[in-house]
Amino acid sequence: MKEHIVFLDRAALIAALRPPACEHTWTDWPDTPPELTAERLRQATVAVVNKVRITREALARAPKLKLVAVAATGVNNVDLEACREQGVAVCNIRGYAEHAVPEHVFMLLLALRRNLVAWRESLRQGEWQASGQFCLFRHEIHDLAGSTLGIIGHGSIGAGVERIARAFGMTVLVAEHRGAPDTRPGYTPFEEVLARADAVTVHTPLTDETRGLIGAREFGLMKNNAVLINTARGGIVDETALIEALKTGRIAGAGFDVLSAEPPPADHPLLNLDLPNFLLTPHVAWSSREAMQRLADQLVENIEAFVAGQPRNLVV
């Protein structure tokens, strides 16, 4: 049987895609607005998506669809319950960014702990040039060595962060699930991680359980010299609470690669948060050229495995 594969947002993946080893047609769309999703999937047996939403309504109008192959790890853009009800399998990509995202985490972490943005601004203002000594002591600098990193979410990316942290000489605490009745060996209770860590980094998927995982209460548990890194999903952190925590000095800084709305509207409050201790990048931690090629290769392998009757990386 010939598979009809439709990639709804091909522009989201800068990588070469080899043809799957099965009889197929393949249609690429650079991007797909919501009103065209159902029409473009009408004859598809396999839908490939990165961030395009696959809704219950779109699924109802795609009677031939058998597989949604998500070209990402997160699957919060797919109505999983509707897929279960309609017998549509969903698979995702795993492990491809185990180097890219951890490196981005440490780019943000080093910039915050060593006050990179503030130092750059001091130079722009001519403060070093006007100084009476060989260096400035305008902004605090802290070492990573000897500090404590709390990791929330310990999959392949969280484990990659841990490896780098230990190479820097950091103490690592891996958080147990919030509210868990017991703490697994090698894990630390969630609240204790927040209280002890000099830096906290988030690596969980966005689910009903993790939405709003870090809010005003959690910021209240953190040290006031701690920083928060989020390269996972925007909805995991309460953004209003984050702004308040930064402006009041409840925490020392934050580095984010994700927002609750993407792409964000021009008036998104975090876009306009002009503070030297807040760093924002546009959801690019995952997107090194090497990581994207690994993603592309695994995507095709997932499709081939499904067609061969040996599905892998299934979410549904």
pLDDT tens sequence across 232-245: 999 999 999 999 99
Band the pLDDT of 45: cuts 50, 70, 90.
very high
- Predicted confidence at residue 70, as pLDDT, reads 98
**What's the residue count for the chain?**
316
d(CA 221, CA 280): 23
- Predicted confidence at residue 18, as pLDDT, reads 96
Say how many CA atoms lie within 13 Å of 248 toward its Cβ: 11
Task: For residue 158, give Cα distances in angstroms to 49, 123, 202, 272, 316.
Answer: 24, 35, 8, 29, 23
- Predicted confidence at residue 74, as pLDDT, reads 87
What's the whole-model pTM score? Answer: 0.90
- Predicted confidence at residue 80, as pLDDT, reads 97
* In-domain check, residue 285: no
Query: What are residue 4's DSSP bridge partners?
Result: 25
One domain, residues 141 and 238: yes
- Predicted confidence at residue 132, as pLDDT, reads 84
Asked if 75 contacts 47 with a C-beta cutoff of 8 angstroms, the reply is no
Band the pLDDT of 123: cuts 50, 70, 90.
very high
Sign of CA dihedral 126, 127, 130, 135: negative
Number of domains in the chain: 2
d(CA 36, CA 41): 9
Q: What average pLDDT does the segment 168-194 reach?
A: 97
Say how many CA atoms lie within 13 Å of 57 toward its Cβ: 7
Band the pLDDT of 148: cuts 50, 70, 90.
very high
d(CA 117, CA 122): 9
One domain, residues 48 and 185: no
* In-domain check, residue 273: yes
Q: What average pLDDT does the segment 133-156 reach?
A: 95
Catalytic residue positions, numbered? 233, 262, 283
| CATH code of 175's domain | 3.40.50.720
pLDDT at 1 over 90: no
Q: What average pLDDT does the segment 91-114 reach?
A: 97
**What is the three-class DSSP state of 243?**
helix
